[in-house]
Amino acid sequence: MFRIALKGILGRKARLVLTSLAVILGTSFLSGTAVFSATLNRTFDNLFSDVFRNVDSYVRSTQVIEADFGAEERQRIPVELVDMVKQVPGVADVQADIQAFARIIGKDGQPLGSEGAGPPTFGGVGQEFKGALWTISEGRFAAGPTEVVLDESSAKAGKFALNDKVKVVAQAGSREFTLVGIAGSGDVRSPGGATFALFDLATAQEFLAKPGFIDDILVSGDGTLSDKELAQAISAAIPSSYKTETLTGAEITKETQDQIGTALSFFSILLSTFSYIALGVGSFVIYNVFSISAAQRQREHALLRAIGASKKQVTRALMIESVVVGLFGSTIGLFAGIGLSKALSALLKAASIDLPSGGLVVPSSAIINTIVVGLIVTVASAWLPARRAGRVPPLAAMRETAIEVVALSRRRTLFGLLLIALGAATIIAVTSGASNKWLGLGILFVFSGTITLGPVIARPVALLLGKPAEKLRGVTGTMARQNSARNPKRTSRTAAPVLIGVALVTAVAALAASISTQIDGVFTQQFKGDYAISTNARGFGGLSPSLADDINTLPEVERATGIGLLTVKIDGKGQYLTTINPATVDGVFDIGLTSGTYADLTAETIFVSQKYAENNKAKLGDTLQVTLADAQVKTLTIAGIYEFDDIAGKYTVSRDLIKDSTVINFDLGVYIKLKSGVSDQSARTVLQAAVDKYGQGTLLSKREYIDKQSGSINQLLGLIYGLLFLSVIIAVVGIIITLLLSVFERQREIGLLRAVGMTKSQVRTTVRWESVITSLLGAVVGIVLGVGLGWVIVYALRDQGLSSFSVPVGPTVSILVMAFVIGVLAAVYPAWRATRVNLLAAITTS
Amino acid sequence: MNNPSAATATNVSKIYGHGDSEVRALDNVSVQFETGKFTAIMGPSGSGKSTLMHCMAGLDEMTQGSVTIADIDIASLKDKDLTKLRRDKIGFVFQSFNLVPTLTADENIRLPLLLGNNKGNEEWIQKVINTVHLQDRLTHRPSELSGGQQQRVAVARALSSEPAIVFADEPTGNLDSTTGNEILSFMRKAVDELGQTIVMVTHDPVSASYADRIVFLKDGKIAGELLNPTPELVLDYMKNLGH
C-alpha cells in the first residue's frame, strides 16, 4: 500500500504542488515570524553588548517607579557622585550620563524623525571616555553652553555640516547651538533609527534635566580589580544616604537586554498569533484540497477496493500521502519563511530603522516547530477525507464519473443550529450578568456552528449572490451561479477561509469604529476651546510647560492651558496623575467637577474621579500619600471630585506639585480658547508662530484635533490589517486551488460548451463569476459574524469605559469591494486553464 | 440564393506524425453534403469517419484541403470566429455527455442562442420542441431525464438556432434500440418536416438506413456511396467493401 500511495503522489506532480501550496504558505508565515523575532532579539542583544562594551561599572539610583505597560521612571542622582566615584581606587575614568528627551529641528523647521510614531529622540552627554558609546568621526566633542554634537544619521538627514546652527528642543525649551562635531557608534550610524544630540555635562544637566542632577555614571576600571570587585569598591565608597546601587557592566547589559526582550516578546507574540491564525485558515484549504482530490480519485479507490484492498488500506494510502505532502510542504515553507524574514528586515531598513547587521538567526526551535506543526496540521486536515475515501463502495468503480457526495444530512443542520444556539445562549448569559470570560466560548460556538452549517447555507446564499451575475451576464452568469451552488460542501469549504479572515477584520474594524466614536464624544464633551497643540510623544518628552504660558500672554488668546502626565507611586504602586494648571483650565478643558473648585487645587491638594471616590469610599478632606519620582513623599488632601475620567483618569493634580523637585514634566496637549471676534486666520498665524518658536507640537483646530485623537486608533488598525493580510493570501490561494481542481473535473463540460459555441472569453467569464460568488459568499457571512463578534467585544470592554457600539460602514463596503476584486484575481489562472481544455479529448468518448 | 451544398470538403487530409511514423487519418477526401438531406457517414473503426466530421465541424484542424460551411471557408477563421460559426451555423449531437448538468432542459435547448445573446425564432423553437415531444420536460435538469430524453434535448439543442448543418456523432450509440429508433425518427422528421440538413456518423447499418444517402469511408478515403439505403442494402454494400 505504501508503494501505491507513493506512486499516487509522484504520478500527479501538479496535484502534489497544489496540495502542498497551502501547507507551504501556512508554515512559511510560522517560520518567517519565528526567524524574524529571533533575529530581532539577537540584533538588540548585540546592540546593547556594544553599548556597554567598555563599561565596567554602572552607578544609578535605587529609587524607581514602575507603572503600567512596563514604563519605568528612575530617580536622578546628584552630580557630586561623579567626583566621589572618580576617587575610588581601581577606577580609571568615569562619565556622567544623561538620557533625556531632545528633538533636533531640521533646517526646514520640521523636527527630525517622525513625531511619536518613530524611534525615540535622545539628548545626552558626549565626552572623551574609554567606555563611551560615541566616537567622534568629524570635529570634536561639545564644550560650553552653545555647542552640540549630532549622530551621523541625524547630521546627514538634516544636511548639517560643522559650524552650522542647530536648533534643539528639550525640557528647558528650544535653543540654538553650533554644531562642533559628528559622532558615530560602532558599525551603525545611529542605533535603531534614534536621533542623538550630545552636549557637555553642564549644558546637558541644565538643558535636558535639572542642574546638579544626572541619570547614571559609567565607570571604566584600570584593570587592577575584577568588575565585581570594582562594583563593590564603588558601592562601599558612596554613602547609603544617596540610595544608589552599582552594577557590573555584564549586569547592566543583561538587564537592558532583558528589558528589550520583554518589549519585543509582545511583538513576537502578536506576530506568531497571527501566523497561527493564518495556519488555521490554511488548514481549511488543505482539508478542502484533500477532499476534492480524494473525490476525483473515487473510481481509482473503488477499483482498489474491488480488487481486494480493505477500507483501512485505502485510508492509509491517503494518510501516507498527507504525511509526504506535510513534510514536503513544511520543509519548503521553512525556507520560504527564512526568505520572508529577510524581506521583513529589508522593510524595516526601508523604513529607516537601521539595525546592525548580525545575520539571520534560525533557532532550532523554529525549524522543529515549523516541521512538526506543519505535519500535524496537514495530517489532521487529511484525516476526514482519507476516511471518507476508504468508505467508497467498490461498485463506484463502474460509475460514469466521480461525483463528490453532495447529500446534506439533517444531522449536520441540527448540529450546526445547536452550536449556534449554545453560543447565542452563552453570549446572552454574559450580557445578563455572567462573567466575561465565557464570551470566548460563546464566540467559538457561534463560529463552529456557522462553519458546520456552511454547506447548508452555501447553496441558497450563493444562488442569491449569483442573481446579479445572471442578470448581467446571461447564460454564462447562470452557469457561474449554478456552478458555485452545485457542490455546496466544496463551496463552503472554499469560502470558509475568506469568512474567517473577513470576520476578524470586520470585528477589529467595529471595535475601532466604536473606540473612535467614543473618543470623539469624550473630547467634544470636554474640550471647550477653539485650538489645540498636540504632540505624539508617548511617555517620553512632550511640550515644554512654558509653551502654554507663552500663549496665554498673546492678545488674541482668552485662555490657554496645558495638560500633562506624571508617574508617581501611591500605596507602593505606580500610578499616572494628570497635571493641570488650575489657574487656566476652567472653561477650556472641562473635567466635570462635581465638588470643589479649581482654586482649591494647590501643591498640597488633589482631585479624584467620582468612580475612584465611590470605589474607595474617599471623600473631600481625606488624604493620599504620593511618592514622586525623586522619592519626595507628599501628603495631598482631596479637595475636589470630578465626573469625566476618560482622559483625566483617577487622579488630577496641579502642576505646582512638582515645582520644587527634580521631576521633569511635559505637557501632552495645550488647549486654547480665543477671545471673541478673533478671526481664524489671525489666530492661526500667531499661534503657529508660538509653536514654531519651540519647534514642537502641531497646531490643530478643535475639529482637526478631535479627528486626530479619534483617528489615533487607526495606526494599530493598520498593523492588525497587515497581519490579517496573511490569512487573506491563504484564502485567495484556497480559491485558486479549488477552481483549478473544479476546472479539471469539468473538462468534458467545458469541452462541450466550447463545441456548441462558447467563446474563450465566455469560458473565462463563467469561471470568474463563480470565483466572485464564492468569495462574496465568504465575505457576506463573514461580515455578519464579524459585526456580531465586534459587538460582543465592545460589550466585554464596557467596564473599560467603552459605552457605545458603532457599525463600521466604510470598512464593510471596502471589504465587499475587496472580496469582489479577490474573486476576480483568484480566477485569472484557473480561467486561463479552462480555456486550454482540449476540445476533442473532452467530447470524444473514451 | 440557396446553395445545394450545406457543407463541402475539398481534398481534405489529416496527417499525424512525420516520416515513417506518419499516419493519414484522412487522405485527400472530397465530399459534399446537400442542403435538406440526411447523410450518414459509415466505415469501420479507424476509417476516419469521426475525424472527417470533426474537421468539417471546425472542432479539429485539418492538415491540408479546405472546408466550407454555409459558403464560409473555415480554414481561414480564427478561434473566436470559428467558435461563433459553430454556435450560429452548426448543430451538434454527441454520443454522450451532451448536456450541461447545471442548466434546465429549456436552457440546454437554447444554449447556442443564449451564448450568442440571441433571442432566436421563438416559433421555430416551439416547433422543434414539439417535434421531439419535450413540452412537459422543459424545467427538468439533465439528471432528472432518461437517456432517451437527454438525447432528444440534445437534438433540439442542435436544431434550435436553425443551423446550416447538424453534425451527429453516434447519437444513438448509448441507447437501447427502441429509444435509438425514436431519436432517429425525430432526426428524420427534422429533415422532412423542418427542412434541416443532418450529417450523422455511425457504424450501425440500421441507423444508417434512416439517411437519404450513405458515404462510406475506408482507410481515410471515400470508398463509395449509397442512395436511399435499407439495412439489407447497407449490409450487402459493406460486404462488397471487404467487411
Residues of chain A with pLDDT > 90, as a percent, come to 24
pLDDT averaged over chain A?
Answer: 84
**From the list B50, B83, B97, which residue is nearest A752 (CB)?**
B97
Look up the pTM and report it.
0.80
Q: Is the pLDDT of residue A331 over 90?
A: yes
A486/B101 Cβ within 8 A: yes
Band (pLDDT 50/70/90 cuts) for residue A744 is confident
- Closest approach of A119 to chain B, Cα-based (Å): 60
Chain A contacts of B16, Cβ < 8 Å? none
The mean per-residue pLDDT over the stretch B147-163 comes to 92
Q: Is the pLDDT of residue A104 over 70?
A: yes
C-alpha to C-alpha distance for B187 and B197, rounded to whole angstroms:
10
Task: Please count the structural domains in chain B.
Answer: 1
pLDDT digits (tens, 9 = 90+) for A591-642: 888 988 998 998 899 999 998 999 889 889 999 999 887 778 889 999 999 9
Quick one: pLDDT at residue A649? 85
C-alpha to C-alpha distance for A314 and A800, rounded to whole angstroms:
56
* Terminal Cα distance for chain A, rounded: 29
Query: Strand (E) positions, A85-215?
Result: 91-97, 100-105, 121-125, 135-139, 147-151, 165-170, 173-184, 195-199, 213-214
**Among all residues of chain A, which has the CA nearest to that of B50?**
A844
Which helix (H) or strand (E) segment holds residue A531: the answer is strand A531-534
Which helix (H) or strand (E) segment holds residue A575: the answer is strand A573-580
ipTM of the complex: 0.90
Look at residue B18 and tell me if it is in a domain. no
The mean per-residue pLDDT over the stretch A513-542 comes to 80
Angle separating helix axes A545-552 and A680-694, nearest 10 degrees: 140
Q: Is the pLDDT of residue A721 over 90?
A: no
* Terminal Cα distance for chain B, rounded: 42
Look at residue B118 and tell me if it is in a domain. yes
Looking at A84-98, A251-265, B149-163, which range is the least confident one?
Answer: A251-265
B114/A474 Cβ within 8 A: yes
Chain B contacts of A758, Cβ < 8 Å? 83, 87, 115
C-alpha to C-alpha distance for A316 and A322, rounded to whole angstroms:
10
Set of cell numbers at residue B229: 439505403
Give the side-chain half-sphere CA count within 13 A for B186: 28
Quick one: pLDDT at residue A770? 92
Look at residue B190 and tell me if it is in a domain. yes
Quick one: pLDDT at residue A353? 57
C-alpha to C-alpha distance for A130 and A118, rounded to whole angstroms:
31
A840/B59 Cβ within 8 A: yes
Q: Which of A114, A272, A284, A279 is nearest to A193 (CA)?
A: A114
Look at residue B28 and tell me if it is in a domain. no
Interface residue of A401, A475, A742, A764 to substitute, partner B, most B CBs within 10 Å: A475
pLDDT digits (tens, 9 = 90+) for A390-436: 888 877 766 555 444 556 678 888 999 999 999 999 888 887 777 77
Q: Is the pLDDT of residue A644 over 70?
A: yes
B86/A757 Cβ within 8 A: yes
Q: Is the pLDDT of residue B82 over 60?
A: yes
Quick one: pLDDT at residue B208? 92
- Closest approach of A495 to chain B, Cα-based (Å): 20
Q: Which of A280, A602, A479, A716 is nearest to B114 (CA)?
A: A479
The mean per-residue pLDDT over the stretch B5-33 comes to 89
Look at residue B66 and tell me if it is in a domain. no
Residues of B at the A interface (Cβ-Cβ below 8 Å)?
A: 50, 54, 59-60, 79-80, 83-84, 86-88, 92, 94-103, 107, 111-112, 114-117, 157, 169, 173
C-alpha to C-alpha distance for A759 and A411, rounded to whole angstroms:
43
Residues of chain B with pLDDT > 70, as a percent, come to 98
CA-to-CA dists, residue B219 to A669, B26, B28, angstroms: 95, 8, 11
- Domain assignment of residue B184, given as a range: 35-60+78-240
- Scanning chain B, the segments in alpha helix (DSSP H) are 49-56, 79-89, 105-109, 111-115, 122-131, 147-159, 177-192, 205-208, 231-240
AA identity, residue A236:
A
C-alpha to C-alpha distance for A773 and A543, rounded to whole angstroms:
54
AA identity, residue B151:
Q
Look at residue B12 and tell me if it is in a domain. no
A759/B83 Cβ within 8 A: yes
Q: Is the pLDDT of residue A793 over 90?
A: no
The mean per-residue pLDDT over the stretch B150-177 comes to 91
Quick one: pLDDT at residue A192? 60
Given the DSSP bridges, would you call strands A557-570 and A573-580 parallel, antiparallel or unpaired? Answer: antiparallel
The mean per-residue pLDDT over the stretch A218-228 comes to 89
**From the list A479, A748, A760, which residue is nearest B103 (CB)?**
A479
pLDDT digits (tens, 9 = 90+) for B52-66: 999 999 888 889 999
Quick one: pLDDT at residue A402? 43
Quick one: pLDDT at residue A312? 87
Quick one: pLDDT at residue A336? 92
The mean per-residue pLDDT over the stretch B152-160 comes to 92
- Scanning A487-552, the segments in alpha helix (DSSP H) are 488-526, 545-552
Question: What does DSSP assign to residue A636?
Answer: E
> Is residue B169 within 8 Å of residue B53, measured between CB atoms?
yes
Q: State phi, psi for B22 to the nearest 5 degrees.
A: -65, 130
Q: Is the pLDDT of residue A317 over 90?
A: no
B100/A749 Cβ within 8 A: yes
* Residue whose cell numbers read 449554478: A482
- Contacts with A830 (C-beta within 8 Å, 6 or more apart), sequence order: A736, A739, A740, A742, A743, A767, A771
A843/B94 Cβ within 8 A: yes
Set of cell numbers at residue A758: 462558447
Look at residue B22 and tell me if it is in a domain. no
C-alpha to C-alpha distance for A50 and A310, rounded to whole angstroms:
66
Most confident of the ranges A13-17, A47-51, A248-252: A248-252
CATH for B53: 3.40.50.300
* Residue whose cell numbers read 550630545: A198
C-alpha to C-alpha distance for A474 and B236, rounded to whole angstroms:
51
Q: Which of B21, B54, B189, B56 is nearest to A751 (CA)?
A: B54
C-alpha to C-alpha distance for B238 and B243, rounded to whole angstroms:
6
Q: Which of B162, B163, B159, B217 is nearest to B183 (CA)?
A: B159
Quick one: pLDDT at residue B197? 94
Band (pLDDT 50/70/90 cuts) for residue A364 is confident
- Closest approach of A757 to chain B, Cα-based (Å): 4
Residues of A at the B interface (Cβ-Cβ below 8 Å)?
A: 474-476, 478-479, 482-483, 486, 748-749, 752-760, 762, 839-840, 843-845
- Closest approach of B87 to chain A, Cα-based (Å): 4
Burial class (CB in 10 A: 0-12, 13-18, 19+), A232: middle
AA identity, residue A758:
M
The string of DSSP codes covering A64-113 is EEE-GGG-EEEPPEETHHHHHHHTSTTEEEEEEE--EEEEEEPTTSPBSS
Quick one: pLDDT at residue A8? 64
pLDDT digits (tens, 9 = 90+) for A654-685: 988 888 777 777 788 899 998 888 888 888 88
pLDDT digits (tens, 9 = 90+) for A529-583: 889 988 765 545 678 788 888 888 888 889 999 998 888 888 878 888 899 999 8
Q: Is the pLDDT of residue B1 over 50?
A: no
Residue A380's CB is within 10 A of a number of other CB atoms, namely: 14
Band (pLDDT 50/70/90 cuts) for residue A765 is very high
Interface residue of B53, B82, B94 to substitute, partner A, most A CBs within 10 Å: B94
B101/A749 Cβ within 8 A: yes
